[in-house]
Homo-oligomer: A and B are copies of this chain.
């Protein structure tokens, strides 16, 4: 009985961490195990309201092994990336007092406790929207809360998140974040730092176009391995181009220079995809729909005489677009709805997700409103511009957002506080 009672306690924490989108791209590792990149990168943290992972971590002497549930399904936690994150966090655990009993979980106890993890995204995992970045950032952040881990140096947690997924290190902070490639062999200095809070540049609006794709894509892990091995242009890019662009981008963000921000963002996205094409065999992430999205933005920017919108594409066909301000975002959304109408059977509320205020300002409340949108001025004279309903799966209106944070209360918890097992949602 005494033993049973002693084993009955479960401690848990729930946190949320955002996804992020790189504006100076990370592509290529110099160390596969420690996930050390061949160049620094810069990202914008996406509003966790729309794109984030929520993770509950729990510990109990009753747990017999580490367990992991992703989006409601139990999966193996034996992967090296999970093991590395758990090992590093356990090694940094400090005393935690159990509220109910006043008992203390010491560092020594932590090293014996098994962990249950449940994580889910508030956006489709398969959409290619950096779910692993949000997921690993959230795992490390929630474990830090659970185990009372204090950073010995600023960014220590980001270096641990990096062991899970390179770009995860950028998801701990909000706003504008830089991942310094670092120099050390152990990766200690390959950490993320915040360049600016999201409130620094509040005008920016982000619209994501999730492209319908039937094509199986090369995973970014194997893709970047192949590029490092075979693309001479990637080596040149990492060594000669990126260092310059990092400096220019930091400056553009600091001074909120949208034209410069747009110029570098688009050029760097295109250059990253150029190095994919320079890989043997070549890797294609952009498809004809991506190309039409780029065309829409480039045409408009040229017509306007200065950049209104910037685009960037990760390892997939989806476009992440930055509009200069809310007014431009409304115009962008109208253009997107004009050229990429939803399919006839679509539901508008499932076609435009996220922040509904952009759609509202566009005056679009029904599919009929989309049908009656008129062609933007710069479309005049453009031939062979297909408007294929359903070419895009859906749009997400969002903005830069805050970093990882604790979710208070039991409501958000993904694990049962009594058993530490997955809460089944009906």
Contacts and interface: CB of A to CB of B under 8 A. Distances in A.
Contacts of A302: 281
A282 interface: yes
A252 to B, nearest CB: 16
A215 interface: yes
Interface string A365-408: 00000000000000000011010000000000000000000000
| Chain A residues touching B, majority SS | helix
Interface stretch (A24-32, A42-50, A264-272, A318-326): A264-272
A291 B213 CA distance: 14
A273 B277 contact: yes
The number of chain A residues touching the other chain, given as a range, is 20 to 34
A288 to B, nearest CB: 5
Interface stretch (A67-75, A177-185, A231-239): A231-239
Contact of A274 (B215, B275, B287, B383): B275
B280 A291 contact: no
A214 B270 contact: no
| Across the A-B interface, the 6 shortest Cβ-Cβ residue pairs | A274-B274, A274-B278, A281-B298, A274-B277, A214-B384, A270-B282
23 contacts: A214-B386, A215-B384, A216-B384, A233-B236, A233-B237, A236-B240, A267-B278, A270-B277, A270-B278, A270-B279, A270-B280, A271-B278, A274-B274, A274-B275, A274-B277, A274-B278, A281-B294, A281-B298, A281-B302, A282-B294, A282-B298, A284-B294, A287-B291
